[in-house]
Structures are given as structure tokens and as C-alpha cells.
A and B are shown apart, each in its own frame.
Chain A
Amino acid sequence: MAKKSGRGSNRATPSSYDFGGSWSPSEIELTRRTARKARNRKSALIAVLSSFLVLGTLGLVLVTSPGWETLRNTFFKWAYGVEILPKILLGFTTNATLTVIAGTSVALIGLAIALLRTSRSPALTPFRLLATVYVDVFRGIPMLLVILLVGFGVPALEIKGLTNNVLILGTLAVIITYSAYVAEVIRSGILTVHPSQRAAARSLGLSNFQTLRHVVLPQALKRVTPPLLNDLVALIKDTGLVSILGVTDAVRAAQIQTAKTFNYTPYVMAAIIFLLVTIPLTRWTDRMLRNSYERENAVGQA
């Protein structure tokens, strides 16, 4: 994995393209380069033209359609949107906090469950069984149901000392569900580390735990970082589901505004706020995924 090159950076890397002597491209290479440049210019031109044509037509159809005025007034009333924006932003801080708290807990719990499920220690057998059941169950239930069950079900128990705070209960439900997803992702990462890596570590005298800590986990986590980031994006969105419990997050704040005016612009505003966070994260994940794919392939050819 060609990442940063440790101490003293690349002092060992020879300037690999310097073959000494003064090379200048041959006639045939120059022709090739000119041809390549011309081809690239043509591709770019075609891309721009077709984009204008397609998007322009779509826009025109939309704007000239008979319902456009109503549509704009119901969903895209910008002045109104800006007016209620602070309320929705305030609601979004709940989503953000929830993401941070749930995200951290999920990472830790998911990792613990993944380790438990991949361990072979006989003493842990009952826990391994429980973990398997847990993962199977919570990966198979819609999260909305878990939120309803925990958010409304736990207070119904009327147990003293247990919180009735819907925000805490909602967060708990999110953590329970996502830990099951994330555990599976991490576990699959651990399983993809080749057994020979383990054998090499053990033959060096590393203990089981040291092998896990220094050899298996670093490689596994690196491999599952892109899918985990995907889960993070999903988590950010899904924090909106706790609004069903009455938690005033961005979704609920928008709902309250919409209920007052019967105008749907607050929903659109909330959507835009979510997009502003999730789209950069998605792009970044995409790039990481592409990079790691290219790296693995480069290793294959080495």
C-alpha cells in the first residue's frame, strides 16, 4: 500500500525516470501526443455540448410546464426558506450530535462484536453465540421499528431509574441497529486478511492478541474504511428517523413549520442541509474506494 513513506520520506527512492543522458521525444511520439491532445479536446467538447443540450431541455420543459408556478411556490419559496432556516439548523445540531455520539459508540461496539465473532477462544463461546443472534436480529429489522420499540416501549415498562428521554432512547435505538451493521462490515474485513499473515505473525512469536492488534486489524480496518464511510453517510441520514419520537431534529423542525403554513419549502431546506453534509462525504468515500481499488490492483501486478 503506497501510502506516506514513513521516516525520512523517500530518501531511498531513486529518481526512476531519469535514465541519465538527454532524452527528447522522437518524431513518432510527438505525433502521438498531438493526436492524443486533439482527441481529448474533441471528447471534452462533446461532453459540454451534450450536457447543455440535455440539461437545458429538461430545465426548459420544467419551467414552461403549466404547474411550474405552483410547484415553485409550494417547494421552493426561497424567502420563506431563509426565514425558517435558523430553526431547521438548530434542529440539525441534534442530528449532528446524535451522529457523533452514535457514530463513536457504534464504532466501538461494532469492533468489539466483530472481534468476538472472529475469536476462537472457547471461553467466549456463549458470547459468540449471543453476538451472532444479535447481529442477525438487528440487521433484519427495519430501524424504524427498533426506534419505535425502544422509544415508546422502554418508557411503557415504567422501570424506575430508566430514562424516558426520547432523545437518549432514540440514540440508543440507532446505536443498537448500526452496531449490528458495522460489526458485519468489520468482520468481513478481518476475514479477508490472508491466513498466511497470521501464520507469519505467530511464527515471529507474537501472541494472538498482538497478532490481531498489529497485523490483522490494521489491514482489515484499512480495507473496510470505504464501506464504513458509506455507513456513516447512511447514519447521518437515518438520525432523521428519531423525529418520529418527537425529538426536535431537522426533520421535525421542518415538519413543525410545514404544519403551520402548508408550504413544503422547510422540507426542501432540511434536505439541502443533509445534502451539504452527505454529498462531500460520499464523494470522498468514492475517491478512497477508487484509490484502494487501484492500489490493490497495482499490488497484484507487482
Chain B
Amino acid sequence: MSHPVLQLDKVRKSFGSEVVLEDISFTVLEHKATVFIGASGSGKSTLLRCINLLDQIDDGQILLDGADISAVDISPDQVREKLGMVFQSFNLFPHMTVLENVILAPTKVQKVAKDKAIDEALELLKKFGLNEKADQYPDRLSGGQQQRVAIIRSLARHPRLLLLDEITSALDPVLVNEVLSTVRDLKSEGMTMVLATHEMGFAKQVADELCYLHQGRILESGEPKKILESPKKSQTREFLRRLHQAGRL
């Protein structure tokens, strides 16, 4: 039996007078992936940042493994230890080699012995075909390689939940696939994930649940195939039609 890893209940977030998220409720079960789609500015990144406590919510509740992480007495650092986050713009540390990037959190936050952290990091890099690049600086890698390193960096801490924010949208179409196949591998290994993406084909493959976010609200959610092929709401249809026109479906 899967149990819920992440639960959001009526979450609301605004920046000043602009309400960016409203009445957001959903549950992610262990080993499952929930994918968010929606137009630019619909609040996808903000949602992931709220889950990661990089932004503070205005109302509602966020539970991680049943514990309320939106409570005031919670330490964000401890919560983030359980979460992996990968950004659209990679955000590797340019002054560190690939290996140093990967072992930073394990050695400094989780206080793993350096040798052990290095062994584990090299193993992870090898698994994703990047062991050759261990000693390179990020600016020597292609965008796809950088993004895969960023994923590995967030995996090195054995997160309970992986948050992936449009991780392919800064990449050349050719490089998108290598990153997506990395994510598919993780999914098949049972990683629990929340993703925001513009890649509908990928969303369909990897999502257990698909949510369409429109102006900060979840307009429609459910089985990916259903939503993509027979959307109920007119806004969803319109969004998909525009994607179709742009050749992204």
C-alpha cells in the first residue's frame, strides 16, 4: 500500500495584491509522480517553491510524510533535507567541479564522510553516464549534461520527494531527451516526484496524475491520457489547442 508523501490542502499564495496560487489541494502517493501543466505565469514555479519553503504560503497546509511543514516552528533546513529540487536554469555552482557540486550537501549538511560521499557520487554519476565529467567545471558541459548533474546533485541526498521545475525548457530539443530519460529512469525506480513541464508527451508518459493549473487554480486533474485527449474545461482545451499550434503536442 502506498501512503501519501505530500499533501497540500487549500494552499494560497500571493505576492502583494497579486494572488498567484489559490485553493490548491492535491496528494502525491509514494512512488507516484504528479505533473503540473499550465501557461507561463500560471504559478507552477511558485507552487514548487512553496513546497520547498523557498516561498511562504499565505494560507492552507502542506504535509510531508504526514508532518505539517507549514507550521511556524518547523526548520526549513530540515524540511529541505528531505526534498530535492531541480531548477529550469540548472543552477550548478560554477566554482565547483561536477563532483564537488554533488558532494556538497551530503558532506556539509548530512555530514557524510568525504570518502564515502565521493564513492557514492561517482557511482551515481556513473549510473547516469557522467562519471567521465566528474572533475570538470560546469561551464565545460553541455546544457543537458549540466541539467543531469543538477538532478544527480539533488539525488545524492536521498530525498523523499523530488521537485522538478521545467527542467528541459532551457535546453536544445536534441538535449531534452537525455534529461527526460533520466527522469523516466528515476520514476521506474520508484522516486516520488512533483514536476512542472511544457513537454506534454513526457507528461503523459511519466505522470500518474496530471494537473492543469490556470491562473493559480487547479482547473482539472486526473489521469493524464484523459485530460490531454478529452479535457472537460474550455480553458484546458484552449491551452492544449495553443500548444498544438506551437507544435509542442
- A residues near B (Cβ < 8 Å) are 1-3, 5-13, 196-197, 199-207, 210, 214-215, 218-219, 222, 298-299, 302
Contacts and interface: CB of A to CB of B under 8 A. Distances in A.
B249 interface: no
Interface residues of B, number: 37
Interface residues of chain B: helix, strand, loop or mixed (majority): mixed
Interface stretch (B131-139, B186-194, B197-205, B216-224): B131-139
Contacts of A206: 77, 104-105, 108-109
Contacts of B210: none
A1 B139 CA distance: 7
Given A6-B99, A205-B80, A222-B95, A12 B133 contact: yes
Interface stretch (B5-13, B21-29, B81-89, B172-180): B81-89
Contact of B135 (A6, A197, A200, A205): A6
B94 interface: yes
A204 B154 contact: yes
A196 B91 CA distance: 6
Contacts of A298: 139
Contacts of B94: 1, 219, 299
B132 A204 contact: no
22 contacts: A1-B95, A2-B137, A2-B140, A7-B99, A8-B135, A10-B135, A199-B49, A200-B85, A200-B87, A203-B83, A203-B84, A204-B80, A204-B105, A205-B77, A206-B105, A207-B109, A214-B93, A214-B104, A215-B93, A218-B95, A222-B95, A299-B139
B195 to A, nearest CB: 15
Given A5-B137, A196-B91, A202-B76, 17 more contacts: A2-B137, A2-B139, A3-B137, A5-B135, A6-B99, A7-B99, A12-B134, A13-B136, A197-B91, A199-B91, A200-B92, A200-B93, A204-B104, A204-B153, A205-B78, A219-B94, A299-B139
B104 A9 contact: no
Contacts of B93: 197, 200-201, 214-215, 219
B95 to A, nearest CB: 5
A66 B95 CA distance: 60
A203 B217 CA distance: 25
B80 A203 contact: yes
Interface in B18-77: 49, 52, 54, 76-77
A196 B170 CA distance: 15
A300 to B, nearest CB: 10
A200 to B, nearest CB: 4
B87 A196 contact: yes
A196 B89 contact: yes
B209 interface: no
B97 interface: yes
Contacts of A207: 77, 109
Contacts of B95: 1, 218-219, 222
A205 B91 CA distance: 15
B132 A12 contact: yes
A203 B104 CA distance: 12
A8 B99 CA distance: 12
Interface string B126-157: 00000011111101100000000000011001
Contact of A205 (B92, B109, B132): B109
Nearest to B154: A204
A1 to B, nearest CB: 6
A219 B96 CA distance: 10
Contacts of B166: none
Nearest to B49: A199
A199 B139 contact: no
Contact of B80 (A13, A196, A202): A202
Contacts of A200: 85, 87, 91-93
Given A6-B99, A202-B80, A11 B135 contact: yes
A13 B60 CA distance: 51
Contacts of B87: 196, 199-200
Contacts of B134: 12
Contact of B54 (A6, A202, A218): A202
B108 to A, nearest CB: 6
A5 B132 CA distance: 13
B176 to A, nearest CB: 18
Contacts of A219: 93-95
Contacts of A2: 137, 139-140
